[in-house]
Amino acid sequence: MKEKLKEIAQIANQEIEEVVDLNYLNEIRVKYLGKKGELTAVLRMMGSLSKEERPKIGELVNKLRDEIEEKIEQKEKAFKQKELQDKLEREKIDITLPSKKVIRGSKHPINRVIEEIEDLFVSMGYDVVQGPELETDEYCFERLNLPKGHPARDMQDSFYVSKEYLLRTQTSAVQARTMMNNKEKTPIRIICPGKTYRRDDDATHSHQFGQVEGLVIDKDISFADLKGTLEIFVKKMLGENSKLRFRPSYFPFTEPSYEVDVSCFKCGGKGCNLCKQTGWIEILGSGIVHPNVLKMNGYNPEIYSGFAFGTGLDRLAMFKYGITDIRLLYTNDVRFLKQFDRKDEENEIKY
Ligand code: DAH
């Protein structure tokens, strides 16, 4: 029997030595240590042994079992270790490889201008408000002192959707909306940037364009407030050396009304092709809110006064970035827009 055990030990050792994977190792475990395994078979035969021999053989069997078990366990450990190493090897990442480039969009020049204007006016205590682009004739014109048939309506060729509804031709429509919502409850200090629409289409006009409207209503508001505010606005947008010129003009919703020119930022006022040799560039419309407009929208003109202004966002962006064709702002050519993924100061044109 001893011989038999020796033989088992030898073959088991060899098999464990040569085993190539965990599955096979399990088979070996069953083959030698299992209930129907070879060592159990030896134990079963112990009945035929003498009393003296039995414990000796028993001891030998147990020893052999321990040995085989340990070898199998060692082998198992080695396999698991190898498996882990292989896994790590497979999942190894080369962090020195260059990453895939993320293609970022860039801020549209008009949005850049809007953000700059909003930052400035918010810092002066204004609210930024919105109004509908599909507007009523009432808010776009009538409540701004432009009744049906008024000749000044001719200045704004409009897209009417029905008799009462049109695509707003001016952000001035939000003036009336803001006043009607407020009706003397608090002073008003707002700007409203947004899209506007007129029947126009050439290199400097687009059927859709952007405006920003400003409105301040309070007690004792005067032309001095308007002038000071616009000076800060224009200097911030077009350069600290800009000079302003107020030309008398006509808008139905303001009295008196002014068109504001800025000294040409390209030639400094000497005269060039940008300012058509005049030294000045027209930049916005403004004025003192007409008493009729105050009255119609719930404000007593004996107590309240205000100023308003409106300017084109596209023109501002074009001046700021040296863009000569307004259509570039709306055709979304990526080659054009990509130029604006740099910092604002780098984008600005140096005249
Ligand atoms: N809404 C005018 C336009 O589109 C611009 C304007 C002029 C707005 C004078 C104003 C203003 O608020 O007071 O031509």
Query: Which residue's C-alpha comes closest to atom 7 of ligand 1?
Result: 285
Indicate whether residue 145 lines ligand 1 (CB < 6 A). no
Distance (Å, whole) CA 196 – CA 212:
10
Indicate whether residue 139 lines ligand 1 (CB < 6 A). no
267 alpha carbon – ligand 1 mean position (Å): 27
Q: What confidence tens digit (pLDDT) does each residue in 281-300 have? A: 999 999 999 999 999 999 99
Distance (Å, whole) CA 211 – CA 192:
8
CA distances 207 to 149, 316, 327, Å, are 23, 17, 10
Q: Which two tokens stand for residue 177?
A: 């909306």
pLDDT of residue 203: 75
255 alpha carbon – ligand 1 mean position (Å): 12
The arithmetic mean of pLDDT across residues 80-96, rounded, is 91
Indicate whether residue 136 lines ligand 1 (CB < 6 A). no
Indicate whether residue 242 lines ligand 1 (CB < 6 A). no
pLDDT-derived band at 344 (thresholds 50, 70, 90) equals low
Q: What confidence tens digit (pLDDT) does each residue in 12-68 have? A: 999 999 998 889 999 999 999 998 888 888 888 888 888 888 888 889 989 999 999
Closest atom of ligand 1 relative to the 289 alpha carbon: 13
Indicate whether residue 287 lines ligand 1 (CB < 6 A). yes
22 alpha carbon – ligand 1 mean position (Å): 85
Distance (Å, whole) CA 124 – CA 118:
10
Distance (Å, whole) CA 173 – CA 138:
9
pLDDT above 90 for 122: yes
311 alpha carbon – ligand 1 mean position (Å): 7
Query: Which residue's C-alpha comes closest to atom 13 of ligand 1?
Result: 286
Pocket test for ligand 1, best of 196, 286, 305 (most atoms within 8 A of CB): 286
Indicate whether residue 308 lines ligand 1 (CB < 6 A). yes
Q: Please say whether the dihedral angle defined by the alpha carbons of residues 261, 264, 270 and 273, taken in this order, is positive or negative.
A: negative
pLDDT of residue 345: 67
End-to-end CA separation in angstroms for the chain: 108
The arithmetic mean of pLDDT across residues 267-287, rounded, is 93
288 alpha carbon – ligand 1 mean position (Å): 11
Indicate whether residue 172 lines ligand 1 (CB < 6 A). yes
- Average pLDDT of the chain is 92
Distance (Å, whole) CA 190 – CA 127:
5
Q: What confidence tens digit (pLDDT) does each residue in 129-145 have? A: 999 999 999 999 999 99
Q: What confidence tens digit (pLDDT) does each residue in 180-205 have? A: 999 989 899 999 999 999 998 777 78
pLDDT of residue 280: 96
| Pairing status of strand 188-197 against strand 127-128 | parallel
95 alpha carbon – ligand 1 mean position (Å): 58
Indicate whether residue 286 lines ligand 1 (CB < 6 A). yes
Q: What confidence tens digit (pLDDT) does each residue in 307-336 have? A: 999 999 999 999 888 888 888 998 989 889
Pocket test for ligand 1, best of 197, 309, 316 (most atoms within 8 A of CB): 309
pLDDT of residue 293: 98
pLDDT-derived band at 174 (thresholds 50, 70, 90) equals very high
